[in-house]
């Protein structure tokens, strides 16, 4: 079976005054119809990986890869016009804060209709019905009201659900979620995750879930990539996360305070230079 | 510059206050230098400063010496930029005029933003009725077209270069006040201001030590971009005969003198016009470059 | 150390008046570490801002070290007793002031002598070392900035430190370092902490007791031990506890 998305040796670099800065340094993975978690601290290149796949790295940033294929078709550095057709229709992205990713002067309903119309070509009543369906699908109890609401009139959790509705309206194959719940309170967070999970599973989509929250990713995803300094340092099934072998992953897990295990002092992470370039602890099955 | 000096300046871990300050300046200079057009602007303005400084030695002839036999001569080897209606060498007049231009621009640039900064930050920081009074006063000034207001001032005070400068300064501060107030409103509620308050910092200290340094940079940029407008306003006053008085070689007044002959003797009006154009352009380019360096939003990158 | 009784805090004037905190009361003993937990908009940070005088529209009673405070004005003695660390280390340091300037101004304002020497000691005590003294905020990482902010708060040698989500903007590994630092400082200097956080695990790690807030009201007060055992009495606190244990499909 060919994977939905195949990435080999993805690199993103930015020119700076003192040479070029490599934000992503050779990331490789395959994505099937699964939930793949990408975890790392700030500056690990996790968000930049997602943006590079969508062709959202702004110049002077440069993206190179040995392979970047969607269903066996290369999408590396496509011209903007073709990329725009792809974005939304086949790969969608949910960003961190709905406050900044929803258009403040357009009602929620119109934004969802717009995204559907752009990619399906259907307009009018069909788009309206689809939008209301989507709002129902993300479990908004009062879809008619939210349809006519402006983004500032709804709560953060509601906004993020509307955002998911908008991104899923054109039935994409892959959803990239970049810290979709970091701006939300815990109680709302779990609800949004549940909705996202159900939709992704029902539709057989591939999900790339980018987050800094190791525990959350461990609970929510099937497989986890741990990134450090622009590289994947470890890859493992999510339920084996506690058995991680890479010292960085272990360090991250241990530095979290836990409710069920009181400790006197939290263990801190001693970063090692070797993590930047050493071999990956658990390479992809079958090798690359 | 040697490699070690450069490393010392660009160090991320400065060891002394001086090194930190020099390093920050050098970083700014590097950003500025990367903007070629801004460098061009800077070079032009440095050249203007040089010319103004050494005007008596640089000008080939006496700018006031009339020679009616040689009036309205086209540009030639004897008079590089030609002569005006009274036979005075235009190049020499331009060179001496640069002093007047710099005087006007410099004074206005010193007075107007300072008034604006003071009024704007006090209004924004104090809020309440102080804000109301100061900003409504600003609005009154803004309600008049700038040149008309300046004309009224000059008419009341009497024509002359000093009064022209005063009028320009008094009429050009309101936009700075608005800018400074807007900046202050965003800074006022920042956590670092709250933190300073918790240390017991009084309003005066917050205003001068914390708010001014952040407002000043955007004001400097704005002033550099406005310079062109100030030169043109000064030239406008000169053109209307309300600024510099004859025989002072003020650029605006020179255009005014050349206006009568513009069809047959174009250079009389065109040469000072060209000078105004070049200097205005240089200030605009410089302002653009300064924005790259001083804008606090882009400063962290 | 800190007594809060029937505290109401509001913003704006009627009819647009918003009540951010309603009838909050709690007492923090000297040397104790007290947590305020709640979701966004629950009013937990607002209480800290009312205590420090950054908000003046409040009623009720606030006593710090036995001294009642009023309105917005705070005495010099108050600033020497109470200090605060803010949530976002990127917003709580002046972008144009070097570490040296921040600390020396603070020390000067607190009327301290031997400023040079004190800056060095302060930097050492927050684990930064003297090499950081002349850096500007943009030359520091998030964790280093937060250490500077802590140093600034410690400059006055306060007894009560108000911590407003001090680690929520930081990576987990940096969070561990900062939390350890705060724990060490409290032990060494006998400080009293009031810590606001949305993260129950962090509060359970740092605090002895905590109050759960919702919609401006204190729903429940409990000990950290009770929190760890999941022994919450109110429904809301139980829900919050369940939610923060993580995501469970279904």
User: How does pLDDT run across B246-265, given as a tens digit for each residue?
Assistant: 788 888 888 888 888 888 88
* Average pLDDT estimate for B41-56: 92
- Contact between C50 and C36 under an 8 Å Cβ cutoff? The reply is no
Average pLDDT of chain B to the nearest whole number:
86
Angle, helices B128-143 vs B90-126, to 10°: value is 150
Kindly determine whether residue C139 and residue B19, on different chains, have CB atoms separated by under 8 Å: no
At residue A162, what are phi and psi to the nearest 5 degrees? Answer: -60, -40
- Contact between A96 and A183 under an 8 Å Cβ cutoff? The reply is yes
| Nearest alpha carbon to residue B293 among B35, B32, B39 | B32
Angle, helices C142-155 vs C172-189, to 10°: value is 20
CB < 8 Å to C79, chain B: 198-200
Which subunits have 3 or more CB–CB pairs within 8 Å of chain B?
C
Residue C160's pLDDT is 94
Beta-carbon contacts of C107 under 8 Å, excluding residues fewer than 6 positions away, are C115, C118, C119, C155
C155 touching B (Cβ < 8 Å): yes
- Contact between A236 and A224 under an 8 Å Cβ cutoff? The reply is yes
pLDDT grade for B174, boundaries at 50, 70 and 90: very high
Higher local confidence (pLDDT), A102 or C152 = C152
Residue A278's pLDDT is 65
Residue C156's pLDDT is 87
The interface predicted TM-score (ipTM) is 0.88
Q: Is the peptide bond before B129 cis (omega within 30 degrees of 0)?
A: no
Higher local confidence (pLDDT), C52 or A117 = C52
Residue B39's pLDDT is 92
CB < 8 Å to C111, chain B: none
B12 closest CB neighbour out of C74, C105, C139 = C139
Task: State the sign of the Cα–Cα–Cα–Cα dihedral A268, A273, A274, A279.
Answer: positive
- Rounded to 5°, angle at Cα B50 from B49 and B54: 120
C86 closest CB neighbour out of B191, B200, B201 = B191
C147 touching B (Cβ < 8 Å): no
CB < 8 Å to C89, chain A: none
B209 touching C (Cβ < 8 Å): yes
Residues of chain A with pLDDT under 50: 281-288
- How many residues appear in chain C? 250
For residues A104 and A4, give the distance between their C-alpha atoms in angstroms, rounded to a whole number.
33
CB < 8 Å to B218, chain C: none
**pLDDT, tens only, B196-239:** 988 888 899 999 999 998 898 888 888 888 887 888 888 888 87
Kindly determine whether residue C245 and residue A259, on different chains, have CB atoms separated by under 8 Å: yes
pLDDT grade for B87, boundaries at 50, 70 and 90: confident
Q: For an interface test with C, which of A157, A214, A258, A268 has the most C Cβ atoms less than 10 Å from its Cβ? A: A268
At residue A28, what are phi and psi to the nearest 5 degrees? Answer: -130, 135
pLDDT grade for B300, boundaries at 50, 70 and 90: very low
At residue A248, what are phi and psi to the nearest 5 degrees? Answer: -65, -45
* Average pLDDT estimate for C49-71: 89
Cβ-Cβ pairs closer than 8 A, A with C, add up to 84
- How many residues appear in chain B? 301
- Contact between B96 and B63 under an 8 Å Cβ cutoff? The reply is yes
pLDDT grade for B295, boundaries at 50, 70 and 90: low
> H or E element: which one contains C34?
strand C33-38
For residues A55 and A77, give the distance between their C-alpha atoms in angstroms, rounded to a whole number.
7
CB < 8 Å to A41, chain C: 171-174
Looking at the DSSP bridge assignments, the partners of residue A31 are A5
A190 closest CB neighbour out of C142, C202, C243 = C243
C11 touching B (Cβ < 8 Å): no
Residue B1's pLDDT is 60
B24 touching C (Cβ < 8 Å): yes
What are C53's two structure tokens? 């005088």
Q: Helix or strand or coil: residue C131?
A: helix
Kindly determine whether residue C176 and residue A190, on different chains, have CB atoms separated by under 8 Å: no
A256 closest CB neighbour out of C39, C172, C249 = C172
β-sheet with A223-228: strand ranges across:
A91-94, A174-178, A206-211, A35-39, A223-228, A231-237
C94 touching B (Cβ < 8 Å): yes
Q: For an interface test with B, which of C48, C139, C144 has the most B Cβ atoms less than 10 Å from its Cβ? A: C139
What are C62's two structure tokens? 């606030």
For residues C156 and C75, give the distance between their C-alpha atoms in angstroms, rounded to a whole number.
13
* Average pLDDT estimate for C94-110: 90
Percent of chain B past pLDDT 90, that is, above it, reads: 27
CA A77 to each of CA A84, A284, C18, C93: distance values in angstroms, whole numbers, following the listed order: 12, 25, 50, 40
Q: Domains in chain B and their CATH numbers?
A: 29-299 (1.10.3720.10)
Kindly determine whether residue C40 and residue A219, on different chains, have CB atoms separated by under 8 Å: no
Taking the CA of residue C240 and the nearest CA in chain A, the distance in Å comes to 7
For residues B105 and B110, give the distance between their C-alpha atoms in angstroms, rounded to a whole number.
9
Taking the CA of residue A214 and the nearest CA in chain C, the distance in Å comes to 9
C91 closest CB neighbour out of B192, B197, B205 = B192
Taking the CA of residue C58 and the nearest CA in chain B, the distance in Å comes to 18
CA A184 to each of CA A158, B79, C170: distance values in angstroms, whole numbers, following the listed order: 10, 76, 16
Residue of C nearest to A196 (CA): C249
Taking the CA of residue B297 and the nearest CA in chain C, the distance in Å comes to 10
For residues B257 and B240, give the distance between their C-alpha atoms in angstroms, rounded to a whole number.
10
C52 touching B (Cβ < 8 Å): yes
Cβ-Cβ pairs closer than 8 A, B with C, add up to 82
Which subunits have 3 or more CB–CB pairs within 8 Å of chain C?
A, B
B14 closest CB neighbour out of C84, C86, C134 = C134
- Contact between A52 and A32 under an 8 Å Cβ cutoff? The reply is no
C109 touching B (Cβ < 8 Å): yes
Residue B115's pLDDT is 93
C79 closest CB neighbour out of B14, B198, B300 = B198
pLDDT grade for C138, boundaries at 50, 70 and 90: confident
CB < 8 Å to A212, chain C: 171-172
pLDDT at C120 over 80: yes
Q: What is the 3-state secondary structure (H, E, C) of chain A?
A: CCCCEEEEEEEEEEEECCEEEEEEEEEEEEECCCEEEEECCCCCCHHHHHHHHCCCCCCCCEEECCEEEECCEECCCCCHHHHHHHECCCEEEECCCHHHHCCCCCCHHHHHHHHHHHHHCCCHHHHHHHHHHHHHHCCCCCHHHHHCCCHHHCCHHHHHHHHHHHHHCCCCCEEEEECCCCCCCHHHHHHHHHHHHHHHHHCCCEEEEEECCHHHHHHHCCEEEEEECCEEEEEEEHHHHHHCCCHHHHHHHHCCCCCCCCCCCCCCCCCCCHHHHCCCCCCCCCCC
B49 touching C (Cβ < 8 Å): no
Looking at the DSSP bridge assignments, the partners of residue C192 are C160
Beta-carbon contacts of A235 under 8 Å, excluding residues fewer than 6 positions away, are A29, A223, A224, A225, A226, A280, A282, A283, A284
Q: Is A24 exposed, middle or buried (0-12, 13-18, 19+ CB in 10 A)?
A: buried
Q: Domains in chain C and their CATH numbers?
A: 2-244 (3.40.50.300)
Label residues C46-66 b or e (16+ Cβ within 10 Å = b). bbbbbbbbbbeebebebebee
B17 closest CB neighbour out of C94, C131, C134 = C134
Q: Is A158 exposed, middle or buried (0-12, 13-18, 19+ CB in 10 A)?
A: buried
Taking the CA of residue C188 and the nearest CA in chain A, the distance in Å comes to 15
C40 closest CB neighbour out of A41, A185, A214 = A185
pLDDT grade for B166, boundaries at 50, 70 and 90: confident
- Contact between B134 and B142 under an 8 Å Cβ cutoff? The reply is no
- Contact between A57 and A18 under an 8 Å Cβ cutoff? The reply is no
Beta-carbon contacts of B202 under 8 Å, excluding residues fewer than 6 positions away, are none
**pLDDT, tens only, B106-164:** 888 889 999 999 999 999 999 889 999 999 999 998 888 888 888 888 888 888 888 88
Percent of chain C past pLDDT 70, that is, above it, reads: 99
Kindly determine whether residue C201 and residue A256, on different chains, have CB atoms separated by under 8 Å: yes
* Average pLDDT estimate for B55-81: 84
C240 closest CB neighbour out of A187, A212, A219 = A187
Taking the CA of residue C216 and the nearest CA in chain B, the distance in Å comes to 22
| Nearest alpha carbon to residue A70 among A3, A24, A167 | A3
Residue A286's pLDDT is 40
Spans of all domains in chain A: 98-171
């Amino acid at each position: 079976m060919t994977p939905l998305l195949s990435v080999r040796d993805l690199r993103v670099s930015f020119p700076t005054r003192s040479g070029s800065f490599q934000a992503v340094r050779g990331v490789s993975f395959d994505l099937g119809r699964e939930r793949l978690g990408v975890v790392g601290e700030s500056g690990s290149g996790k968000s930049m990986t997602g943006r590079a796949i969508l062709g959202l790295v702004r110049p002077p940033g440069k993206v190179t890869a040995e392979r970047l294929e969607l269903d066996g078709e290369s999408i590396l550095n496509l011209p903007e016009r073709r990329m725009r057709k792809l974005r939304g229709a086949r790969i969608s992205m949910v960003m961190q804060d709905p406050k900044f990713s929803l258009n403040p002067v357009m009602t929620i309903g119109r934004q969802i209709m717009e995204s559907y119309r752009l990619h399906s070509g259907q307009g009018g009543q069909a788009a309206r019905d689809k939008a209301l369906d989507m709002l129902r699908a993300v479990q908004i109890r009062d879809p008619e009201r939210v349809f006519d609401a402006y983004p500032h009139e709804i709560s953060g959790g509601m906004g993020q659900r509307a955002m998911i509705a908008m991104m899923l309206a054109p039935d994409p194959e892959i959803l990239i979620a970049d810290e979709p719940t970091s701006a939300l309170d815990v109680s709302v967070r779990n609800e949004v995750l549940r909705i996202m999970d159900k939709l992704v599973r029902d539709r057989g989509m591939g999900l790339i879930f980018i987050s800094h929250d190791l525990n959350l990713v461990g609970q929510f995803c099937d497989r986890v990539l741990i990134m450090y300094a622009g590289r994947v340092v470890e890859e493992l099934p999510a339920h084996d996360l506690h058995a991680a072998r890479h010292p960085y992953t272990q360090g991250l897990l241990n530095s979290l305070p836990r409710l069920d295990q009181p400790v006197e002092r939290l263990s801190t992470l001693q970063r090692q230079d070797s993590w930047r370039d050493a071999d990956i602890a658990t390479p992809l099955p079958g090798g690359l | 510059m040697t490699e070690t000096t450069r490393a010392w300046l660009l160090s991320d871990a400065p060891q002394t206050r001086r090194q930190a300050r020099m390093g920050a300046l050098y970083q700014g200079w590097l950003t500025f230098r990367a903007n070629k057009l801004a460098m061009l602007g800077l070079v032009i303005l440095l050249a203007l400063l040089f010319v103004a400084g050494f005007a008596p030695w640089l000008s080939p002839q006496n700018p006031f010496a009339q020679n009616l036999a040689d009036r309205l001569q086209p540009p030639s080897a004897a008079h590089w930029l030609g002569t005006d209606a009274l036979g005075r060498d235009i190049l020499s007049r331009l060179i001496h005029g640069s002093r007047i231009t710099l005087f006007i621009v410099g004074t206005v640039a010193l007075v107007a933003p300072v008034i604006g900064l003071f009024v704007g930050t006090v209004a924004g920081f104090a809020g309440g009725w102080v804000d109301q009074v100061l900003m409504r006063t600003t609005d009154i000034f803004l309600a008049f077209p700038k040149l008309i207001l300046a004309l009224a001032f000059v008419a009341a005070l009497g024509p002359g270069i000093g009064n022209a400068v005063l009028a320009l300064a008094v009429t050009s501060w309101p936009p700075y006040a608005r800018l400074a107030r807007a900046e202050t409103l965003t800074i006022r509620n920042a956590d670092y201001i709250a933190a300073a308050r918790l240390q017991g910092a009084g309003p005066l200290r917050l205003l001068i030590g914390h708010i001014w340094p952040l407002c000043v940079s955007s004001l400097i940029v704005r002033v550099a971009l406005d310079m062109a407008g100030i030169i043109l306003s000064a030239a406008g006053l000169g053109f209307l005969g309300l600024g510099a008085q004859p025989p002072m070689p003020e650029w605006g007044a020179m255009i005014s003198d050349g206006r009568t002959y513009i069809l047959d003797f174009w250079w009389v009006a065109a040469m000072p016009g060209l000078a105004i154009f070049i200097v205005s352009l240089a200030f605009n380019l410089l302002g653009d470059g300064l924005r790259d360096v001083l804008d606090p939003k882009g400063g962290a990158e | 150390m800190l007594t809060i009784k029937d505290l109401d805090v509001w913003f704006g004037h009627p009819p647009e008046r918003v009540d951010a905190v309603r009838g909050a009361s709690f007492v923090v003993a000297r040397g104790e570490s007290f947590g305020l937990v709640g979701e966004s908009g629950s009013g937990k940070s607002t209480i800290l801002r009312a205590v420090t005088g950054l908000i003046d529209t409040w009623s009720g009673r606030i006593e710090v070290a036995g001294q009642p405070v009023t309105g917005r004005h705070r005495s010099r003695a108050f600033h020497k007793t109470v200090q605060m660390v803010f949530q976002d280390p990127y917003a709580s340091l002046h972008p144009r002031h070097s570490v040296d300037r921040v600390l020396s101004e603070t020390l000067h304002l607190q009327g301290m002598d031997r400023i040079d020497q004190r800056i060095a000691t302060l930097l050492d005590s927050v684990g930064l070392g003297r090499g950081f003294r002349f850096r500007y905020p943009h030359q520091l990482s998030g964790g280093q900035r937060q250490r500077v902010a802590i140093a600034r708060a410690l400059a006055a040698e306060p007894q009560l430190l108000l911590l407003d989500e001090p680690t929520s903007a930081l990576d987990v590994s940096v969070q561990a370092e900062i939390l350890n630092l705060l724990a060490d400082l409290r032990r060494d200097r006998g400080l009293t902490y009031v810590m606001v956080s949305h993260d129950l695990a962090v509060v359970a790690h740092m605090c002895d007791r905590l109050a759960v807030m919702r919609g401006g009201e204190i729903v429940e007060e409990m000990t950290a031990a009770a929190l760890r055992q999941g022994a919450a009495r109110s429904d809301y606190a139980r829900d919050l506890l369940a939610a923060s244990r993580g995501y469970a499909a279904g």
